[in-house]
Amino acid sequence: MALNTAFLVFEAVLGVLLGSLALLGDAAHNFSDSFALVLSLVAVRMSTRPPTLRKTYGYHRLGILAAFINSLGIILVCFYLFYEALRRLAHPVEVAGGGMVLVAGAGFLFNGGVALLLLRGKKDLNIRSAFLHLFTDALVSLGVVVSGAVIMATGWTYADPLVTMVIGLLILVSAFQILRESTHILMESVPAGVDYLEILRDIRELPGVRDVHDLHIWEIGARQYSLSAHVVVDDVPVSVAQEMAARVKEMLLHRHRVVHATLELESDPCAPGEICPFE
């Protein structure tokens, strides 16, 4: 975070001195990176805190919320870049191509290197959103290098805003993907990669289970799944029912990575041949 903040100040000052929109856009994105890293760090720290009387699930969702906010921040930065690029296309500004290449080249190496530090945590949506900020910044810097080289070779200043718009489109694709994934989790939808019907079938196939209804699956945090269901069983003693519930939970944990399952066991109230409410 300290390195990123120092570099964005350096890049913003040179962007103003060189008159480069692409450099200023890159600096603005670096600013959002610093915010994203702070937000991600807070979320990671908070997610390790134990549950409380008011936060009974703990703070796992903070990482998802951080990813949601980070992706929104990226999208807003992109729209700002589009606005400035269109303004530059209408009113071209002289840009120092050589300075752009040097500063953006340093930015590409810097952002790429810091992004690699987060690469090992890419499976976590929160860390992936922070990684995306830094990785896309590296792409922006690379684009600025290209536009600076074109300006140096041809003097065509339109390369600066045009490259900015192309890179902005690439960033939007990744940002919308994270926004969609985080929204999916916050809406408590069935987690991506989890087969609802397969879980339903696996529970029904266990010995002693007659049926399952009111089955709900959601994601507490990154790859932490919860489940609740009504399981219909034979009219058996409580001790036997508890053993059946334990078997269901063990199967859900090892086969489907469900870390928290709440099961309500019911005996079948219907006579043979009758239509039950849960059918």
CA distances to 211, 236, 269 from 273, rounded to whole Å, are: 15, 21, 12
Give the β-pairing of 209-221 and 224-233: antiparallel
Q: Looking at the domain assignment, is residue 273 inside a domain?
A: no
Q: Are residues 79 and 212 in the same domain?
A: no
CB atoms closer than 10 angstroms to residue 176: 14
**CA-to-CA separations, 276 to 20, 50, 196, 207, in angstroms, rounded:** 71, 41, 22, 21
The pLDDT profile of the chain, 279 residues, written as one tens digit per residue, is 777 778 878 878 887 887 776 677 667 667 767 777 777 777 778 877 888 888 887 887 887 888 888 788 878 878 887 888 888 888 877 766 777 788 778 878 887 887 787 776 666 777 777 777 777 778 777 877 888 888 888 888 788 788 778 877 877 887 888 888 888 888 889 988 899 999 999 999 999 899 999 999 998 866 779 999 999 998 888 899 999 999 999 999 999 989 899 999 988 655 444 445 444
217 shares its domain with 257: yes
Give a yes or no: residue 272 inside a domain: no
Print the domain residue range for 143.
Answer: 2-186
Q: What is the pTM of this model?
A: 0.68
Q: Are 126 and 40 in contact (CB under 8 A)?
A: yes
**Count of the separate structural domains present in the chain:** 2
Rounded to an integer, what distance in angstroms lies between the CA atom of residue 145 and that of residue 102? 8
Tell whether 12 is covered by a domain. yes
Is residue 58 within 8 A of residue 49, CB to CB? The reply is yes
